[in-house]
Amino acid sequence: MKVLVTGGAGYIGSHVVRLLQQRGDEVVVIDDMSAGVIERLGGAKLLPLDLAAPEAMTLLTELFKTEKIEAVIHLAARKKVGESVELPEWYYEQNISGLAHLLGAMRQTGVTKLVFSSSAATYGMPDVPAVSEDLQCEPINPYGQTKLIGEWMVANAARAWGLRGANLRYFNVAGAGWPDLADTAIANLVPIVFAAIRAGKDPVVFGDDYPTPDGSCVRDYVHVHDLAEAHLSALDYLDRDDRPHDTFNVGTGQGSSVFEVLDEIKKVSEIDFKIDVQPRRAGDPPYLAADVSRIRETLGWSAKRNLHDIIESAWNA
């Protein structure tokens, strides 16, 4: 199969590209290279492009025709929650216009298979510990809102012209499938802690008085290699005539506290660093993990790697 991967030079995208290549699929990548690394692509053809640019739909339509694209995995998006709060208009322009241009080009060229990178940020602050896909989504920031609107766009395209879409709601992604595909951004807990250690600073924990076993927030951490495999499972699912669901959580179904993550980093790194405990941040739910029964039962996918695997692979990378 010939697959277009948008954002394929990024952290998650490069893992998806490599797995597709390993199983024999031909891959074309679109990436604006704002966070991409060209060496990650393994020979995949690259078209540098901002999907939100006015000329994007025309260029995409030409690409679909000339490259004979058969399916799309769409990961390209802006994804920093804090930045989305500061620049909401830009986030709407980037994430929603980019998807609109992509869907428009797919419609014009008859490409009907799309795996869409969504997020657990669509849920907002649910008051249940294990979040199922049937829970009403109430995103609390522009980033989460753009991902939910993206899911609506996929559903509308399915009704309007027969798109076969699957939305993957990621939980907390970390680790590295290969050392050369490390997360180079310092935006999530694990790379933030690593950066603090390298700088000789104490990692910061926001809140140790939550109603959790050790007082710190609990989250569902999924290995990026497992997540990439979920994309391939979702892509294959789109070939089925019987597709009872179009939205899936991607996590482990188990939570790990911030202190547990830090303890694992101490073990793996063999560095006994101190921790700087600060007051809670507004908007952090105490416990958030995925109900993963749907993706397990429908796609046959489940995470194979645990917290130790995540931290060890990230540290080695």
> Which helix (DSSP H) or strand (DSSP E) does residue 168 occupy?
strand 164-170
Q: How far apart are CA 278 and CA 207, in angstroms?
A: 6
What residue type is assigned to position 177 of the chain?
G
What residue type is assigned to position 68 of the chain?
K
Task: Give the count of beta carbons closer than 10 Å to the beta carbon of residue 270.
Answer: 7
Closest CA to 224 of 80, 3, 11: 11
Q: How far apart are CA 71 and CA 26, in angstroms?
A: 11
Active site residue 11: no
Distances (CA, A) of 62 to 47, 69, 130, 132: 12, 10, 43, 39
Question: Helices marked H in 23-119 — which ranges?
Answer: 56-67, 81-86, 88-91, 98-109
Closest CA to 181 of 150, 225, 142: 225
Catalytic, out of 11, 91, 143, 170: 143
- Could you list the active site residues? 143
